Amino acid sequence: MSEKRVYTFGNGKAEGRADMRNLLGGKGANLAEMNLIGVPVPPGFTITTEVCSEYYEKGKENVVALLKDDVTKAMKQIEDIMGKKFGDPENALLLSVRSGARASMPGMMDTILNLGLNDVVVEGVARKTGNERFAYDSYRRFVQMYGDVVLGMKPVNKEDIDPFEAIIEQVKAQRGISLDNEMNVDELKQLVVLFKKAIKDQTGHDFPENPEDQLWGAICAVFDSWMNERAILYRKLNDIPQEWGTAVSVMAMVFGNMGETSATGVCFSRDAATGENIFNGEWLINAQGEDVVAGIRTPQQITVEGSRRWAKLAGIDEATRASEYPSLEEAMPEVYAELNGIQDKLEKHYHDMQDMEFTVQEGKLWFLQTRNGKRTGTAMVKIAMDLLHEGEIDEKTAIERCEAQKLDELLHPVFDKAALKNAKVLTQGLPASPGAACGQIVFFAEDAAKWHADGKNVVMVRIETSPEDLAGMTAAEGILTARGGMTSHAAVVARGMGKCCVSGAGELVIDYKARTVSVNGKTFKEGDYISLNGSTGQVLEGEVKTKAAEVTGDFAELMSLCDKYTKMVVRTNADTPHDAEVAANFGAVGIGLCRTEHMFFEKDKIKAMREMILSDSKEGREVALAKLLPLQKQDFYGILKCMDGKDVNIRLLDPPLHEFVPHDLKGQQTMADEMGKSLEFIQARVKALQESNPMLGLRGCRLGITYPEITAMQTKAILGAAIQLKKEGFNPKPEIMVPLVGTFKELESQQKVIKATAKALFEEEGVEVEFKLGTMIEIPRAALTADKIAKYADYFSFGTNDLTQMTFGYSRDDVASILNTYIDGKILEHDPFQVLDQEGVGQLIETAVEKGRNANPNLKCGICGEHGGEPSSVKFCHRAGLNYVSCSPFRVPIARLAAAQAAVEE
Ligand code: PEP
Ligand code: MG
């Protein structure tokens, strides 16, 4: 904890720098940096993130006391630079108070503008500027924001609109006007009075008139907003530790609402949705920042090109566009030229796509913020590859720039072209975040979350979204809003999540109370299906068919770049030729786990399987196994053929047998009839198979040791398929894996059965195929005695699902109820079944690799538990020296990127 709590900036000087983001937050650090590189930024100061932690440790009063002197000094500096005084009615300095954490959390925390106004100061501002409308517009905005953020003025019911917006609507309705900026001075004055009264009525608080009180109220509210529900949820979703805290940046206000030569806007140095290298953004004349993102007025495009594209989508002709919605480039060409120059300078300075906020006060441009822009998965890949080609970054940086988990978005299905052609377009909105989404309509965030938890796909339909909707947006397949532009809350957050979003579909008429949305004469209820095309902005009726994504273009180039640096290869967990094929298209170089049990659940196989299990003699079992053999052989033939020339690791039967037997009377009767036995006999067998702890019971290699004939049948099926393929000129490379080994004797005993079966089969067929024999390491004892086990194994595959279960002693099937309590209570940081516990389970892996390779230097090691597709776990596997990771098909590219990143980080 450093003694310095406040860092000032202004007039081209700053106490902070860009690389101090941990201390100053992203916003504070970049405000400092922009000062240092000559970008026009209003003067201000940043209170550090460490103070946020102090705030939660020592409490409000103590922290205010600790800050008082430093803030007073910093305020003096702002006053000197601006030549104004805070609270002085004749020459008032007004402030903005903004949050800013180390990682950007767009829209999750709070901002307050126009701070310092009260009933007296507002009069002075009006006199001094000669612009009463501006003074009262700023004042009503301030009361509104302060009421919301500091005094907790929120809608009472979820169906209600914002209480301040409701008042604004009333006032506008009196005179029949529709736009906020059409309100006259009297109406703005009226708003201030009505707002203050509503605050008092609803919250019991008076609006504070003293600017000092306002300032401290706002600073504390920003610290408080670190712990608001949506910020907590956002951190959870994005793995941001609570300890980081938020900084508070206090800046002199510059005003975009001073008249027709003033404006405010948000812009991006590249397209955050597609990644194209096109400067873009939105602005509003005579407005303040929140107007652009809140979606109340329709924002205009920054560039002519963007404006024309927007007008085409919105169905607006060129003449109307140019007169009513001109771009900044047309309306304020000089300001535009400066803005364009600075955005380019900032991107080159940070070597990354920038997301910037600016204000034009009476023709003068000011920057209020810059940050590395949130982007979709597609944009992430394109921007990284483009920056590489432009020579802005090198190959390793390009790999590190991409977030492995975010590749997931590129693997989701896209609309089938033919289906799209035939789909009925209901209306057109803005293509705010690309992708294909189909689902049932819901109108409220909590319903989205609830329906999603019930296994439904939903599309959340809102007039506009607010940060409160985060949980619902997370749960939805897609988001559709009636209001708001490309930089609205919905658009920005959806792009950050990589979620399909169509915003600003102005033809939609949404009725929250009736839970309906109408468009062009059609009405849809909650629960009806719609589809969204986030790439074109089209809203489509019903469910439109989708197809699998492909690895092409920049994505393919990134993947081959990964292959250049990676030390581990990536295989897949697949039980069917179809899954294997999907994974191979995503770059899997083999199969790391083929679970044979899933194959038994198919129609004809389950009968033979049940017969085998329910028999009470070896002979009976052998009859049933003889029926299973050709069926299994066919399965393995398919997989080995589809993965020709690649390693295919097939695991012998693993789960407890009771999972296969019929538990219902009808099923039991059928089996009795099929087998010519009595119902009582079948029921007695089923009962005998019941275990109180099946996860620790008769499963894994214990099955093969109890019933060696099962191991023999599976070996015959695997090698028989391989022989057939070899005869047909293919190059099968099977691996046979023994599960759940705890002592080397288990493996030794299974090895004998496998080798004897293989020998007999090869002699019989007159053909030999090479195969490897390995084991899973998924019991702690196996990891600890890996040296002995390795003498019988060509390879180890870490089954970290069971290894986690048995290391923690948490049942895989029952842990869910405990996990939430543990994670909320910070007893566990993550679900250890998703994110590998490197400290405990990881130690067992490291031990096993070391001991195993000491005993058998050729030992190959891989992982096939769920962790094999989770980026931080993949990186651990690299450090532990594994040869490969294996994961489900749709995680293969994620694992490839994470593996390359691990190599680059090294
Ligand atoms: C494991 O235990 O990690 C594993 C891959 O096997 P299964 O999940 O089938 O038990
Ligand atoms: Mg297992």
Ordered DSSP codes for 128-177: HHT-HHHHHHHHHHHHHHHHHHTS----SSTTSPPHHHHHHHHHHHHHT-
C-alpha R_g of the chain: 32
Least confident of 125-139, 181-195, 663-677: 663-677
Q: Does 80 score more than 90 pLDDT?
A: yes
Q: How far apart are CA 8 and CA 42, in angstroms?
A: 11
Does residue 465's CB lie within 6 angstroms of at least one atom of ligand 1? no
* Residue 610 assigned ligand-binding role: no
Domains of the chain: 78-252 (1.20.80.30), 263-375 (3.30.470.20), 413-547 (3.50.30.10), 566-656+691-905 (3.20.20.60)
The terminus-to-terminus CA distance of the chain in angstroms comes to 30
Which carries the bigger pLDDT value, residue 889 or residue 637? Answer: 637
Residue nearest to atom 9 of ligand 1 (CA): 595
Q: Which residues contact 349 (CB under 8 A, 6 or more apart)?
A: 33, 37
Using H for helix, E for strand and C for coil, what is the string for 780-809?
HHHHHCHHHHHCCCCEEEECHHHHHHHHHC
pLDDT tens for each residue of 411-434: 877 888 889 889 999 998 888 888
- Per-residue pLDDT, averaged over 543-547, amounts to 87
Q: Which residues pair with 177 in a beta bridge?
A: none
The closest-lying atom of ligand 1 relative to the alpha carbon of residue 864 is 5
- Per-residue pLDDT, averaged over 881-903, amounts to 96
pLDDT tens for each residue of 215-268: 999 999 999 999 988 888 888 888 888 899 999 999 999 999 888 999 999 999
Cβ proximity of 632 and 717 under 8 Å: yes
Q: Which residues contact 619 (CB under 8 A, 6 or more apart)?
A: none
Helix (H, G, I), strand (E, B) or coil at 483: coil
Q: What percent of the chain has pLDDT over 90?
A: 75
| Beta carbons within 10 angstroms of residue 282's beta carbon | 26
Q: How far apart are CA 285 and CA 264, in angstroms?
A: 7
- Per-residue pLDDT, averaged over 681-702, amounts to 91
Task: Tokens for 622, please give them.
Answer: 């052998």
Ordered DSSP codes for 629-657: HHHHHHHHHHHHHHTTTSEEEEEPP-S-G
The closest-lying atom of ligand 1 relative to the alpha carbon of residue 797 is 5
Least confident of 45-49, 253-257, 413-417, 740-744: 413-417
* Residue 778 assigned ligand-binding role: yes
Q: What's the confidence (pLDDT) of residue 496?
A: 75
Task: Tokens for 872, please give them.
Answer: 């931080």
Q: Does 893 score more than 70 pLDDT?
A: yes
Q: What's the confidence (pLDDT) of residue 294?
A: 65
701, containing H or E segment = helix 701-706
Q: Which ligand is nearest to the CA of 864?
A: 1
Does residue 149's CB lie within 6 angstroms of at least one atom of ligand 1? no
pLDDT-derived band at 492 (thresholds 50, 70, 90) equals: confident
Which carries the bigger pLDDT value, residue 607 or residue 451? Answer: 451
Residue 802 CA, ligand 1 centroid: distance in Å: 6
Q: What's the confidence (pLDDT) of residue 234?
A: 87
Q: What percent of the chain has pLDDT over 70?
A: 99
Residue nearest to atom 4 of ligand 1 (CA): 799
* Residue 355 assigned ligand-binding role: no
Residues within 5 Å of ion ligand 2 by Cβ? 778, 799, 802
* Residue 595 assigned ligand-binding role: yes
Length of the chain: 906
Backbone angles phi, psi at 346, to 5 degrees: -65, -40
Q: How many helices (H) and strands (E) does the chain have?
A: 37, 34
- Taken in order 289, 295, 297, 300, is the CA torsion positive or negative? positive
Q: Does 639 score more than 80 pLDDT?
A: yes
pLDDT-derived band at 742 (thresholds 50, 70, 90) equals: very high
Q: How far apart are CA 544 and CA 522, in angstroms?
A: 18
What predicted TM-score, i.e. pTM, was given to this entire model? 0.86
Does residue 557's CB lie within 6 angstroms of at least one atom of ligand 1? no
Q: How far apart are CA 49 and CA 51, in angstroms?
A: 5
Task: Tokens for 95, please give them.
Answer: 């402030």
Report the candidate in 286, 269, 287 with the shortest Cα–Cα distance to residue 278.
269
Q: What's the confidence (pLDDT) of residue 471?
A: 85
738, containing H or E segment = strand 733-738
Does residue 575's CB lie within 6 angstroms of at least one atom of ligand 1? no
Q: How far apart are CA 592 and CA 678, in angstroms?
A: 42
pLDDT-derived band at 295 (thresholds 50, 70, 90) equals: low
pLDDT-derived band at 674 (thresholds 50, 70, 90) equals: confident
Task: Tokens for 25, please give them.
Answer: 């937050």
- Per-residue pLDDT, averaged over 135-160, amounts to 90
Residue nearest to atom 3 of ligand 1 (CA): 799
Report the candidate in 472, 464, 477, 549 with the shortest Cα–Cα distance to residue 512.
464
Cβ proximity of 502 and 476 under 8 Å: no
Residue 633 CA, ligand 1 centroid: distance in Å: 23
pLDDT-derived band at 17 (thresholds 50, 70, 90) equals: very high
Helix (H, G, I), strand (E, B) or coil at 114: strand
- Per-residue pLDDT, averaged over 358-374, amounts to 95
Cβ proximity of 513 and 462 under 8 Å: no
pLDDT tens for each residue of 775-815: 999 999 999 999 999 999 999 999 999 999 999 999 888 88
Q: Does 741 score more than 90 pLDDT?
A: yes
Q: What's the confidence (pLDDT) of residue 296?
A: 66
186-198: string of b/e by CB count within 10 Å (b at 16+)? ebbbbbbebbbeb
pLDDT tens for each residue of 603-618: 678 888 889 988 888 8
Q: Does 41 score more than 80 pLDDT?
A: yes
* Residue 17 assigned ligand-binding role: no
Category of 542 on φ-ψ map: left (φ > 0), alpha (ψ -120 to 50) or beta? left
- Per-residue pLDDT, averaged over 473-491, amounts to 86
Residue labelled with tokens 């399987």: 609
pLDDT-derived band at 1 (thresholds 50, 70, 90) equals: low
Helix (H, G, I), strand (E, B) or coil at 759: helix
Q: How far apart are CA 864 and CA 798, in angstroms?
A: 6
546-569: string of b/e by CB count within 10 Å (b at 16+)? beebebeebbebbbebbeebbebb
Q: How far apart are CA 191 and CA 196, in angstroms?
A: 8
Largest distance between two CA atoms of the chain: 104
The closest-lying atom of ligand 1 relative to the alpha carbon of residue 865 is 3
Cα 735 to Cα 586, 597, 646, 796: the distances in Å are 22, 16, 10, 11
Cβ proximity of 245 and 258 under 8 Å: no
Cβ proximity of 226 and 108 under 8 Å: no
What is the layout of strands, in order, in the sheet containing 44-47? 13-14, 6-10, 44-47, 246-252, 95-101, 111-115
- Per-residue pLDDT, averaged over 837-861, amounts to 98
Q: Which ligand is nearest to the CA of 740?
A: 2
Does residue 298's CB lie within 6 angstroms of at least one atom of ligand 1? no
Please list the active-site residues.
489, 864
